[in-house]
Amino acid sequence: MSRSSDLLARQQSNLAAARAVPFIEDTIGGTLSDEGFRRYLVIEEAFVLTAVKVLGLVVAESPTLDDALDHVTSMSNLVGEQREYFAQLRSRFPYAGDAAALVEESSVLSTHALTLAGEEGRAAALVGMYAAETLYLSWCREAAAVNVQREPALQDWVDMHVAPPFVSQVAVLACEVDAMPESVTDEDLDRWFSGMLAAEIDFHNVAV
């Protein structure tokens, strides 16, 4: 098995816990409330900017253009397709509360991801993103396989996270984990991966 596969095998209980939050359960089951979706749009758009910043650090610390290429592509998807998704929905699903306060309430994920990248560097940033994107690919695949009625915009979000560009993005992160040197220990991988998932739980609990 590869290092990324071994990591996923060790982290199954943490992935299951992160998948079991009410927001994900309700999205998969087609029961997410309108208010829950509106809250999620606010906090997820804020985190997408964080993901761009994290990948910016990854690119900045890439030793060659080839090492940077796939992550520049991922950044392009975030500031392209995903930015456009949120921009189109702001007027359709306005949040009536204090959006800034809501973002602050959910900031544990952004704070964790940026601290991980800033203090522990490129490898930690990549593993943190691998945890986040693996979680999303997993639960969105589960949601896509369930025949329930969802808000079409929410269905679009699910579909975006099972489409080839996103699947390729996760595969790139897995390859990065596989290529990490022995100086990056399994304990490092587990700590970075599980820490990101714990922050994902706190983040998603703000939505619902």
- Note the pLDDT of residue 1: 82
In this structure, what DSSP letter does residue 184 have? S
- What is the Cα 112 distance to its own chain's centre? 13
Residues 6+ apart with CB under 8 A from 37: 93, 151, 153, 154
| Global pTM value | 0.96
Spatial distance between the Cα atoms of 98 and 34, rounded to a whole number of angstroms: 17
- Point out the residues of the chain with pLDDT beneath 70: none
Q: How far apart are CA 11 and CA 183, in angstroms?
A: 20
Read off the pLDDT of residues 175-203 as tens digits, 9 standing for 90 and up: 999 999 999 999 999 999 999 999 999 99
